[in-house]
Structure 1
Amino acid sequence: MMDQTVGTTLRLKREEKGLTLEQVFQAIKIRPNYLQAIENDDFDQLPSRAQARGFIRLYANFLDLNPYPLLDQLAAAEAPVEPVAPVQPTESKPVLEEKAKEVVDDLLQKGRDSLKEGLNTSAQKLQGSLSKLSEKIPYRIVKKGEPLAFARPASSASAGPKTGQTAPPISTSYRTMCEAMGTELREKRESLGLSLADAERQIKIREVYLYSIEEGNLDELPSTVQGRGMLSNYASFLGLDSEAFLSRFAEALQQKRLETLPPEKAGIPLPVTPQKEKLTGIRRLASPDLIFTGGLFLVFFVFIIWGSVQLLSINSQAANPTAIPISDLLLASGTPASSDMVTIEGATAIATEAGLSAFTPVDNLQETLLATSTSQIQVIVVAHHRAFMQVTVDGKSAFLNRVTPGSIYSFYGNTAIDLLTGDGSAIEVYYNQTSLGILGNASQVEEYRFGPTSYTNLSALNTATPAPSQLPTLTQQPTNTPTVTPETPMPSPTPTF
C-alpha cells in the first residue's frame, strides 16, 4: 500500500466497494470534481491544502480506511527535499550526527525564546488594555462567589461527590471558561486534520495567537477587541457558531471583572439613573410651552378686538363732505342751497345781504390777519368753494388758477393789487385787516383793484352793453273768407208707367 499514491489507494478502495463518484458525493457532500482530483493526485485543483487534508480524511473514513497514514504520506510527498551537503571524508558519522543535533537544538532554543518573548509582550499589552476595559464593562448584582447563569451553582462544586458517583470538579473562574473555549476549538481543528500552520495560512492569524486561544490564554492577545475578532474568525473557519463564542467570551470578561473587584465592592448594585418625576394635574398644564402659546393667543385675540373697535368708531363718524364740481357751479343759477355749501372745519358762519352763508376760519385766518408786514397793501382771500381767480400784484401775476375750498390766500403789494374771479360768491376778501365779505353772487364775475388807501370795484364801473332792439315787422291782418253754401239738389220726378 505504501507503494501506491494517496489517490490510487482511495480509488481502488472505492472500486472495490462498487461505488461511483456520484454516490460518494451524495454521502459525504464533496463535489465529484474534487473527488476526481484527489484520486488523480492533482491536489492543485483543490481550493487549499488544508481543505485537501480534510477531504482526504472524510473520504478515507467513508471508505473504512485509516486516514492518518494517507495524510502522513501526503505530507511526506509535499515536504521539500533539502539538498544534503556532501560529507567530508575527514569527518566520521558520529561527528556529523553531533553537529546536526547541535544545530537542531539551537534552532529549537531560538524558537522557544522568540515565542516566549512574543507571549510576554502580548501579555503585557493585553493586561494594560484589559485593566482599562474592565472599568467600563457594566456588571450586574452578583454576590461574592456566586456563579454566572450558564454555570452550575458553586455549592455543588464545594459539595463532595455522592457515594458511588464520581462528579468532575466544577469551576466558574475566568481561566476555566477560557480553557473550555480553547479546548473546544482545538478538538474541532484536530477533527478536521488541520494544523495551526494550516489555519494561519487560511485566516491570516499568527500561529502564536491561535495557540494562546486554544490554551485559554486570552490575556496574551494584543487587546480585547482584537481578541474578539480573532476568536470570531477562528470559530467561523472551523465551522462553529461564532456568535456563541463571542457571548461566552463576554461572559468570561464579566467573570474576570467580578474576580478583580475588591471584597468591599462585591455585590454593589449597578448605579441607578434617577428618573424625572412625571408632571400631573396643574403642574402639567402650567408648562412653559403652554404658557407661551396661551400668551400668544391672548395677545392675538386682544389685537382683533381692538381693531374691530377702531373700525366701528371710524365708521360711526360723519363722512367728510366732498367738494362741488366746477361744472355744477358754472351751470347753477340763482342762490345756491345751503346743502351745496362747503363747511370749513374750525369756522363760524355769518349772514350776508345776499342770503349766502360766509365762513370765517378762526385759527389760520386770525394768524394771517395779525401777521406783520412792511407792505402797504394787504389782501387776504378765503375760498369757500372752487372758482377761477386771477391776482396781479404790482403789475406781476401772483395767482392764476382755481381756488381750493377752505384755503386762505394772502397777497402783499405796494402799488396795486388786482383781483378777478369768475364767481363772486366763492371768495371772501379781507383788505388791510378789514372784511369786505363775499364779493358777489353765484356765477357773477367780480373785478377789484386795491390800492394803499382804498379799493375800487371795476366790475361796477363797466356799463352793460344794451341789447339790440328788434326791428318792427309787418303783421298781416286776417281777411274775410267768403262762405259758399252748397245748393240742395231737388229730387227729379220719377215717371210712372
Structure 2
Amino acid sequence: MSQLGARLREAREARGLTIAEVASETRILPRYLQALEEGDFEQLPGDVYARGFIRNYAQFLDLPADELIQLYRRERGAPTEKIKVVPAAVPPRTRSCLLPSAFFTFFSILVLLGVLYWIANLAGLTRMPEVAQQPTPTLTVVPPTPFPTVTLPPEGTPPSPLPPTPTPVVTPTSVVIPAEQLDAPLVVVLRVAPNATRGSWMSVSVDGQPAFTGTLLANNSTQPFKAQREVFVHVGDASVVELIVNGKSEGMMGTVPGGVAKRTIYAPNQSGSTP
C-alpha cells in the first residue's frame, strides 16, 4: 500500500472527515483524492496537478507538504534531485564576409555611375539649355493730367441759386382696384387690431389675380379689397389680423401668435362658402 495514501487517509480519518467533505473544502474532485489515498497515481491528470493536489491536501490536514511531495516522487519513480541547468556552450565565432561584399557592391555602383555620367556628357545630355536673352523693358513716363482751371466770379457777384431738391414720391400701400370692381358684390377688409404691437405679412389674390403682397403694419392697419367672385387671403400672423366681409366683422383670423392662416371668401352670388 502507498505510504503517501496511508498518511493522508489516517490524517483525514483522525479528523473525522469524509472524502466528500475534504473535496468541498479543498476544491479537489473526490476521485482525485481517492486516487491519492490509494496510490493510484495513473488516475491523476498529470505530475504538476498531482503535486498541487498533494500540497493543498497536506495543508488542509496540517501535514508537511514538501515531505509528502518527496514521498510521492519516490513512489512514482520520479527523480528526487533537482534538475541542474547547464549553460550552453558558446559557439565559435565565424568570420563574416558581409563587410567586403558590401564594400565591393558600393564600389561597383560608383564605377557604374561614373561611366553613365561620362556617356551622358559625350552625348551632350548634361549641358544646360541656353536661355534666350529677353529684351530690357523700356519705361515710359506719362505726364500727370493737369487739374481743370476754376474761374472765380468777380467780387460782389451774388451766388447762383441752388437747384431745387426734388420731393420724393411715396407710393401708397393701398391696392389699386380696377374700374369693373368698384361696385363689386364682395368687399373684404383686413385690419390689424388696434392694440397690436406688431403687423403681419400677407398675400391676397382677387378673382384669381395677385392683388397685394407685403406687410400690413400696426400703424397702417387697414387694407380693403373688392372682388366680383372671391378673395383669397394668406396671413403670416393670424392672431393680429381681423377679417371684415361686406362691413361685418368675422373676428380675428387666428388665436395662436405667429400662426399662419389661409382663407377664401366668396361673393354672395357665387357658389361656395367661407372656410
Q: Of Structure 1 and Structure 2, which has the larger fraction of its residues in helix?
A: 1
Determine which structure has more spread, i.e. the larger CA radius of gyration: 1
**TM-score with structure 2 setting the length:** 0.30
Q: Of Structure 1 and Structure 2, which has the larger fraction of its residues in strand?
A: 2
Question: Looking at both structures, which has the greater relative contact order when contacts are Cα pairs under 8 Å and sequence separation is at least 6?
Answer: 2
